Structure 1
């Protein structure tokens, strides 16, 4: 299509077709707007890279429609065509500045994916970063375009030997990464080696709920002075059980997010960046939750509630930093899991016993404490829909978009029921003092009193 002046009205009226087509501008030869079968539109120029009829014809994208108005795109195209007349080749320059497929390593590709896609589009990008650690370590200097489905299968088998769920999550992240990397305009890899790969490990629904005896063991065991975990970690785990919040929401609690903490109705206002669906959530705090927070902030009265002594990372994002005292940073969700799991010995690094092993408990995760708390509240008489509200489980229908009632009174009642049930379960604190030594009366050896010499 040709011979038309490219205007906003013309561009807006261009409809997608079964195949790609271009409308050329009547004012500036070589300038046009391309329409892809997907409906995507972009301003382009076509030119010969060199002189004579044998010079290769190149196409160069000036800008996507929407980023530049037609008049501005035409002006930019005129400048480019003028530079081309003086010997420039913008398409070749663009290719030269783009990472070449035959030398881009997987580690470089993974970082590009995190910076250009995950951090831009996903609030959970740190999960992607975590699941890419093992692939990056294994394929660090491998050329990304040469990684095959067999390489991926081998990696997933290694991960799945100890962490089948982790293998599935790694597979999902790799699928997204390679799909992004092969899109037109990037072409960092020719194919997606994960495209036709089925999920290798069957996941069972998570149903672990701690028994009353396990709850009592854990609750008081977290006070054990020999516990192989820091006090903030122990308090953050207890906070999950007392509130039903997600592990990351417990670990990330900041003092400014405590509203009315010294009053009769203390609340935790969870910010959007730590909530699914990106909205603020209010969680009422019962006395058990308040007690955990009070002890934590007695150690650190600003910034993060559950903080650890660590050197701040100068390269970390601003969102990851707090106004905590120098050296104090919020603990992480992963730190909670690591404290429960412990770690095996590796090289010169000694083994570290986990909380579960120390207390002689069967496997459970921080998230299982949330499920346990919900079960306890329901058993205590809390209504299912009220427990659902405190868990922040959203309805997926249209009505939920308009119904903004926060159910705070109902959630407060659930928190009170949960507190009462937990107090029944944990009872009074066990006496961990050294047992009294009892002497058998028949097994006592008499000690003769020393004779004192009396002067005559």
Structure 2
């Protein structure tokens, strides 16, 4: 235990040359009980060690992080805590009691909502995915105190999801890990029940691409899919026609559609806030894509809010949810009769059901098969180069090349589904 005369200069030397391994503690010779813990990353934390009057062993309470608390402020906090201890108090015990009381009052529904409002929405473009994956845990644990959820509860829930949808089980696992870690970091919970738990399902890289007969069967089924809304059917078609991400298609807004009646310059401008790369993306609209958007807008003229392109049936949201496309596509394929034209393709669709993202991959593969250059395919898909030049300097939109690529694909697609 190193006892030192702490000064500002000494502390600067610690953070500029942190320990090679392990956490090192430095105790202030002028303020009994004040300790600075320094990690190999140079991060420091102030703590105070004391012994309560009621006979308990030594206790330690965290005062704050080094980058948030100066030496003088840390010493002042120790003096305040020491007065409380001399009066019979136990600062750390009282803090634990407050946390425990708060965690007992906090239901899982309440915790999930706080996570969405305070963390997911401000920090994640995909927060609606988090909201969707939390529905099963909320249905299972909603009114229960979040602090009472055990590791066995988490395993049972994830295994139940895995039996129906292995990938969804892993995505739910990821969201729950983030949620519980956030709750512990924010002192809403004392511990996470999911720490160290391995994913419950094994995933393989997705390579599903629809064959031309499969495209024809699926397109024709979407034209008259019973039980599927026109908005969901048209959104699925647009993914296949334009190759954009399912979430971007589902969340399309009317304000993003530019010159929709112009056969030469019609385009869809997706803002940076709605793209995975955080970079605005312009999609030229070939005739089939333009007509699908027009058809959706004609429905909004009757029942729309003037903002969304594809409207949700739920009043709590304006646009359809990303997972509505997955559920809709799954229902269409489940109801697909095996007998009929292209029977082999029908069987293939039912035996290996594609996802909405597979429709995007199908376009990408189809463009390659049709001889569209790699740079133009990447431009259509909004895949940018990973180097500094590609990310920050190359701002050329390749609109002409993207339009040519999408027209080439649409002509192939139209010949298939006519």
Q: Structure 1 length normalisation: TM-score?
A: 0.71
Hey, what does 2:370 align to over in structure 1? 380
Give distance in 2, aligned partners of 1:308 and 1:178.
30
> Would you say 1:335 and 2:313 are equivalent positions?
no
Give distance in 1, aligned partners of 2:100 and 2:126.
26
Q: Check conservation: 2:167, 2:201, Cα contact below 8 A.
A: no
Q: C-alpha displacement at 1:207, in angstroms?
A: 1.8
> Would you say 1:20 and 2:28 are equivalent positions?
no
Change (3 A) 1:411 1:159: same
Alignment of 1:243-258 (within 5 A): 243-258=242-257
> Would you say 1:400 and 2:390 are equivalent positions?
yes
Q: Check conservation: 1:217, 1:359, Cα contact below 8 A.
A: no
Give distance in 1, aligned partners of 2:50 and 2:315.
55
Q: Deviations over 1:113-165 (max 9, x none)?
A: 6677656665434434444444554566598678456x666555433333233
Give distance in 1, aligned partners of 2:327 and 2:246.
12
Change (3 A) 1:410 1:231: same
> Would you say 1:364 and 2:354 are equivalent positions?
yes
| RMSD of aligned alpha carbons | 3.9
- Report the 3-state secondary structure (helix = DSSP H, G, I; strand = E; otherwise coil) of the residue aligned with 2:69: coil
- Report the 3-state secondary structure (helix = DSSP H, G, I; strand = E; otherwise coil) of the residue aligned with 1:300: helix
Q: Check conservation: 1:20, 1:37, Cα contact below 8 A.
A: yes
Q: C-alpha displacement at 1:284, in angstroms?
A: 1.9
Q: Check conservation: 1:252, 1:330, Cα contact below 8 A.
A: yes
Give distance in 1, aligned partners of 2:238 and 2:192.
49
Q: Deviations over 1:234-265 (max 9, x none)?
A: 22122212211011110000112224445542
Q: Check conservation: 1:268, 1:284, Cα contact below 8 A.
A: yes
Hey, what does 1:412 align to over in structure 2? 403
Give distance in 2, aligned partners of 1:78 and 1:99.
26
Q: Deviations over 1:88-127 (max 9, x none)?
A: 4331221012137996999479737667765666543443
Q: C-alpha displacement at 1:29, in angstroms?
A: 4.3
Give distance in 2, aligned partners of 1:43 and 1:220.
66
Q: C-alpha displacement at 1:306, in angstroms?
A: 0.9
Give distance in 1, aligned partners of 2:171 and 2:178.
11
Q: Check conservation: 1:272, 1:279, Cα contact below 8 A.
A: yes
Change (3 A) 1:372 1:198: closer
Q: Deviations over 1:246-298 (max 9, x none)?
A: 11110000112224445542332223343223332222222222211122222
Change (3 A) 1:281 1:74: farther
Q: C-alpha displacement at 1:63, in angstroms?
A: 1.4
Hey, what does 1:232 align to over in structure 2? 231
Alignment of 1:60-139 (within 5 A): 60-99=61-100, 107=108, 111=112, 122-135=124-137, 137-138=139-140
Q: Check conservation: 2:109, 2:138, Cα contact below 8 A.
A: no
Q: Check conservation: 2:3, 2:27, Cα contact below 8 A.
A: yes
Q: C-alpha displacement at 1:232, in angstroms?
A: 1.5
Unaligned runs of 5+ in 2: 339-345
Change (3 A) 1:267 1:4: farther
Change (3 A) 1:156 1:29: closer
Give distance in 2, aligned partners of 1:233 and 1:265.
26
Q: Check conservation: 1:145, 1:189, Cα contact below 8 A.
A: no
- Report the 3-state secondary structure (helix = DSSP H, G, I; strand = E; otherwise coil) of the residue aligned with 2:164: coil
Count of equivalent residues: 394
Hey, what does 1:164 align to over in structure 2? 166
Q: Check conservation: 2:252, 2:310, Cα contact below 8 A.
A: yes
Hey, what does 2:341 align to over in structure 1? none
Hey, what does 1:44 align to over in structure 2? 47
Change (3 A) 1:16 1:400: farther
Q: C-alpha displacement at 1:303, in angstroms?
A: 0.8
